[in-house]
Amino acid sequence: MRIEAVLPDLAVGDPQHVVEHDEVRARAAAAMHALRELIPWSGYALSAWDAGSGTHRHITLASEGYPAAVQDHMNDAFVEHNPGFRLLHTRVPRALRWSDLDRDWLVKFAQTYSAEVFLIPAGFKEGATMCLRLPDGRYTGALHVSWARARDASDGTRDIIEGFRPLLANACDLLSHARLGVHRMGPDVHAVLVSAQGTVSEMPGHLAGPLLRDGEHVRSLVARQGNSFGRRRYLWTGPEGTCHRIEIVPCHGEASLVIERQISWPFGLSGREAQILHWVAMGYSNPQIAARFYISSRTVSTHVEHILDKLACESRAQLAALAVNAELLLIEEIDAGAA
């Protein structure tokens, strides 16, 4: 069986993304191999919805017998415009064949644009689509199966396809790693997903919380990271001087997972000392830091002495190295040097 993975390009040098990519492919391949042993088909596509993309488009995880044009249509225009898919996505919790749509729902699928322009010219006479949802109701993708002989699409075949719904829904869950990572951080964690287009949505099972509720602010946080690859962790000063750990994790489709939780200031630092440490790490002198915060150079010097003591460092260079290695930089200050 030919398995095609048409996932977005992954960040070069990010081993975690490579692992996730391989696991997604493996889940899809294993699920469809098991189904292939039970039913015939002339073509199929297992397509996942990339929730982080901010669009309706799907991604083909595994396929066989579908020309590239058919796959692309099923992942885009079919999802957005086909009346049969709209019915399946909003009202029918089961697999439907073309004949089911015609008989039970008065949708003449064979006369739709999808059938006339793509499926029938590709040699298919019957087909079935099943929308995939997890137990919590979250939509993860769809399975499309097509047959060159209508008689192969029996009621028994449709029933077998429906029996694979839970397995396939999990196989199409592109947020599984992200959700697991958030879950492992504890129940007090807040998380949102930011699409490549800037759409901000809560992660299933976790609230955005007061600090991530402002979409513009969250988009600004992600933008501050720039084009950095891999997971990045920062500190963030809350509106009342509280300390928050922020993690920004790249996901499929150039989306970013933003995770936030409140913590104590590391090493017993105060909020002001964390700010001073950030700019020391950025290579700023005491007078430059003093000008930034409208305080005297002597006050900055006193802060630096306290920071050296708290972090058990003997020089500004050691402070800078520790601040970077211990991920103590303040995300709200990342791009402030250009101001």
Integer CA distances (angstroms), 123 to 6, 65, 118, 225, 307, in order: 23, 10, 9, 49, 72
- Consecutive H or E run containing 84: helix 83-90
Does residue 128 sit in the same domain as residue 234? no
Considering the domain architecture, whether residues 195 and 79 belong to the same structural domain is answered as no
- Final residue of a domain: which of 263, 298, 314? 263
Instruction: Give a yes or no: residue 8 inside a domain.
Output: no
Residue 9, domain member (yes or no): no
The CATH number given to whatever domain includes residue 91 is: 3.30.450.40
User: DSSP characters for 171-224?
Assistant: HT-TTHHHHHHHHHT-TT-EEEEE-TT--EEEPTT---HHHH--HHHHHHHHHH
Give the tens place of pLDDT for each residue, 45-71: 999 997 766 688 899 999 999 999 999
Range of the domain at 282: 268-339
Co-location of 35 and 183 in the same domain: no
- Provide the mean pLDDT of the chain: 86
Lowest-confidence pick of 67-76, 185-194, 261-270, 315-324:
185-194
Strand, coil or helix: what is 236? strand
pLDDT band of residue 337 (cuts 50, 70, 90) is: low
pLDDT band at 15 (very low <50, low <70, confident <90, very high): very low
Does residue 228 belong to any structural domain of this protein? yes
pLDDT digits (tens, 9 = 90+) for 105-154: 999 999 999 999 999 999 999 999 999 999 878 899 999 999 999 999 99
For residues 4 and 175, what is the distance between their CA atoms, to the nearest angstrom? 20
Q: What is the pLDDT of residues 185-194, one digit of tens each?
A: 677 788 888 8
Indicate if 141 and 285 belong to the same structural domain.
no
pTM greater than 0.85: no
State which of 113, 148, 171 marks the end of a domain: 171
CATH number for the domain harbouring residue 287 = 1.10.10.10
In this structure, is residue 5 part of a structural domain? no
Please tell me whether residues 19 and 166 are part of one structural domain: yes
Number of domains making up the chain: 3
pLDDT band for position 335 (cuts 50, 70, 90): low
Please give the pLDDT value at position 218: 87
The amino acid present at 254, given as its one-letter code, is E
d(CA 10, CA 18): 7
Q: What local confidence, expressed as pLDDT, does residue 68 receive?
A: 96
152 and 197 inside one domain: no
pLDDT in tens, 221-258: 888 766 555 678 899 998 889 999 998 888 766 778 89
200 with 210: CB under 8 angstroms? no
